[in-house]
Amino acid sequence: MKKYRFGENFLRSYSEPTFIARGGFGAVFKCEKNNSVFAVKVTNFDAGGQEADKARSIWRTLHWYARVLTLLVEIQRKDRRILLST
């Protein structure tokens, strides 16, 4: 996974969990209105302990959602291609 600066805008066409800032985890989401992508920081893992455990749990959930979102986007694209070709 690639590292990004927190708050940086990204021109990407899909959602994915990613590192944000040093030692932190978060997720990248696409904004449908202006086609931009933005980052959301979850927490800093450097602290350790309960907070880090909670953060890992949140990250796993974000990772799962991002995979589902990516899959749904791919299905939509395929459906559109099928509709356009018929």
42 or 75, higher pLDDT: 75
- pLDDT, residue 70, reads 67
pLDDT band at 6 (very low <50, low <70, confident <90, very high): very low
Q: What is the three-state SS of the chain?
A: CCEECCCCEECCCCCEEEEECCCEEEEEEECCCCCCEEEEEEEEHHHCHHHHHHHHHHHHHHHHHHHHHHHHHHHHHHHHHHHHHC
Quick: pLDDT tens for 13-64: 334 444 443 444 555 555 555 555 555 555 555 555 666 676 667 667 766 7
- pLDDT, residue 60, reads 72
- pLDDT, residue 49, reads 64
Residue spans of the domains in the chain: they are 3-85
pLDDT band at 83 (very low <50, low <70, confident <90, very high): low
